Amino acid sequence: MRLQTLLGWTLAMALPSLLWATAYNEMEVVDLQGTVMVQHAKASSTPTALMTNSTVEKGDTLTCYDKSWVILKTHSGARIGLDGLLGPTIVNVDEFFLEGPDRQIRLVLQQGVLFLKTNGYGSKQSFFEISAGAVVTSVNDTEARIAYSPAEAGLLVQYFTGDMNVIDKDHEEKMQIHHSERHWKSGVMADKEPSPVDDLDWINYKKFFNSEPRVAPGSNNFLLTGE
């Protein structure tokens, strides 16, 4: 009886540590609209449509078609959005591994727009990177929007809050001014000083993660439904 009690207490003490050490290698689709396809790593696999509550894992390639969008959530609560409102967005999940305090995520943005609402870890093994052409964006606890056009070799980084560095061919730029944006061209910074983010972009950033229709620029200010 005393042995059973001891074993019970031992399991109760060890369970939180066991749960903390659990490895997660997939993201959940929490919301989407329109057509978003996933191609799994196996060459023979057929692209399939993502649905709410389905999962995305390492090796998957996601294509978010025109006027579609999807929001993914990691087990740590970070949210990643693919937006096709201005044209298709294609992203490859190059690395995805979460275990305890370690977070290792690398996304390859082939083209299009990413919305990021991430959280950070203190582990030295952790990283969260977005590769776009010759530029790598490193994020920690960050709110940001990234747009990449391979045809123009152009990258736009809109930084709202948090900890964010951009590594290009020449140097590493730490984003410091909240609600600012910078441009890169062919892997190098195209402007000497950051520009302020338009207030409408911040409004639409929040609307995106609330799954609300966004507001279009211009005098009419009509809502973008994505349809």
Q: What is the enclosing helix (H) or strand (E) of 173?
A: strand 172-175
Residue with tokens 């993502």: 50
pLDDT 10s digits, 163-182:
999 999 999 999 999 999 99
Which comes out higher in pLDDT, residue 56 or 3? Answer: 56
According to the model, what pLDDT value does residue 45 have? 78
CA separation for the pair 175, 157 (Å, rounded): 9
The CATH number of 23-224 is: 2.60.120.1440
pLDDT 10s digits, 16-35:
444 444 668 899 999 999 99
Token pair listed for 64: 């978010």
Burial 138-174 (b: 16+ CB within 10 A, else e): bbbebbbbbbbbeeebbbbbbbbebebebebeeeebe
Q: What percent of the chain shows pLDDT beyond 90?
A: 73
Predicted TM-score of the model (pTM): 0.86
∠ CA 59-206-86, nearest 5°, is 60
- The yes-or-no verdict on residue 13 having pLDDT over 50 is no
Number of neighbours of residue 109 by Cβ within 10 angstroms: 23
Residues 6+ apart with CB under 8 A from 167: 135, 136, 137, 138, 173
Q: What percent of the chain shows pLDDT beyond 70?
A: 85
CA separation for the pair 124, 161 (Å, rounded): 22
According to the model, what pLDDT value does residue 15 have? 44
pLDDT 10s digits, 90-135:
999 999 998 888 889 999 999 999 999 998 876 788 999 999 999 9
